[in-house]
Amino acid sequence: MSEWFNGTVFMERLWPDAQKWMLVAVLGLEMVMGVVGNCLILLVKVMCRGQFCCRYWLPFIGLSMSDLGCSLIIISSSLMAMLTGGQRSPWCEVVSLLKLAFITSSIGSIAILCVQRLIGMGSRGGALFVVMVTACFASWVTGVVFGSVPVFYSWIKYDPAEMMCAVLWERSYSDMLVYILCAFSICIFLPFLFIFLCSLLRATVCRSSCNSDDEADLSAVTPLLVASYILCYTPFVVSEMILLGRRDLSPAPEWLRTLSSVMSYLDCGLNPLIYCSHQHFREAGLALLWTNKKPSLEPVLNAIIKHDL
């Protein structure tokens, strides 16, 4: 297993120059999309709240913050690792911990959004608001707790295929089995169960009584957010399932681990584009960015009517 963590020498053998620079370009593009896109989205959400309908702003803010944090910290760290040949402790452990925290927070925010859409009560204070804030905070805490376990037991190693520090197992299959099953059950499967059930019930309710106000609300993009999350994180789940099926602790193929990182990073940049697919939100964003457009103060002659005397 020592050849796995041989720094730059292994990096050069794993990635030929052409593939390496192609990955650098892809990571750089994803980082720019995630940082710029989510900064603009947060700006529009805060400064233009009165220009579009958004009853469920709390999970949207939580999701954008997670995507922005992932773009700023995780993607940039992977980009630097590709350029320098690895990551060193303690930053290596910090990146691994935060990645799971961002993943858990993202899917938790989507699950909360689906629950709020089902019950039809927005983020406007009261007991429900306290519950939703607690749920958002709990998703962050859960990710940090499960991300801290591999750090505490020194399971974190730099994986050139994933382009970041990750949990790489060397000793006990039983430890790996218990950890992955617990982490997936609580951090991934439980929120996904809420998403699936709420989406199913929501679709059933909409068939009988569909309200036009629901389509005007920003939450109308929720199905696209769910589909994007599932699409982008499927390679990550598949790679972990392959690991569970191998008692010799050999990881998933290198190409699949690389694909899992690239696709999970892509989700951070796709979410701002999904928000902009909503007409009212897009118009509010364009109005905010179009600072040079000034209202006309001079009367404009646009018709002449001739009256016979």
How confident is the model over 74-101, as pLDDT tens digits? 999 999 988 887 788 888 889 989 999 9
Number of Cβ within 10 Å of residue 146's Cβ equals 20
Q: Is the pLDDT of residue 296 over 50?
A: no
The CATH-assigned architecture of domain 2-282 is: Up-down Bundle (1.20)
- pLDDT at position 281, please? 86
Identify the CA nearest to 275 among candidates 230, 232, 224, 227: 224
Rounded Cα distance, 259 and 5, in Å: 20
- Please give the C-alpha separations between residue 114 and each of 216, 222, 237, 268, in angstroms, as whole numbers: 16, 7, 22, 19
- Please give the C-alpha separations between residue 58 and each of 36, 52, 138, in angstroms, as whole numbers: 21, 15, 14
When mean pLDDT is compared over 26-40, 42-56, 195-209, 283-297, the highest value belongs to: 26-40
Q: Is the pLDDT of residue 161 over 60?
A: yes
Q: Is the pLDDT of residue 305 over 70?
A: no
- pLDDT at position 295, please? 40
Residue 7's pLDDT band, with cuts at 50, 70 and 90, is very low
The tokens of 40 are what?
Answer: 């603009």
- What is the pLDDT of the chain when averaged over all its residues? 82
Identify the CA nearest to 95 among candidates 114, 118, 72: 72
Residue 116's pLDDT band, with cuts at 50, 70 and 90, is confident
Question: What is the pTM for the complete model shown?
Answer: 0.83
Higher pLDDT, 182 or 3: 182
Count how many residues are written for the chain: 309
Rounded Cα distance, 97 and 103, in Å: 10
Residue 109's pLDDT band, with cuts at 50, 70 and 90, is very high
From the number of C-beta atoms within 10 Å of its C-beta (0-12, 13-18, 19+), residue 6 rates as middle
Question: Once rounded to an integer, what is the mean pLDDT over residues 190-207?
Answer: 85
Identify the CA nearest to 61 among candidates 43, 79, 80, 82: 43
Question: Once rounded to an integer, what is the mean pLDDT over residues 11-21?
Answer: 69
Question: Once rounded to an integer, what is the mean pLDDT over residues 273-279?
Answer: 89
Report the DSSP beta bridge partners of residue 53. 217
Residue 282's pLDDT band, with cuts at 50, 70 and 90, is confident
Angle at 199 between CA 197 and CA 202, to 5 degrees: 105
Report the DSSP beta bridge partners of residue 156. 167
The three-state secondary structure class of 170 is coil
Q: Is the pLDDT of residue 70 over 50?
A: yes
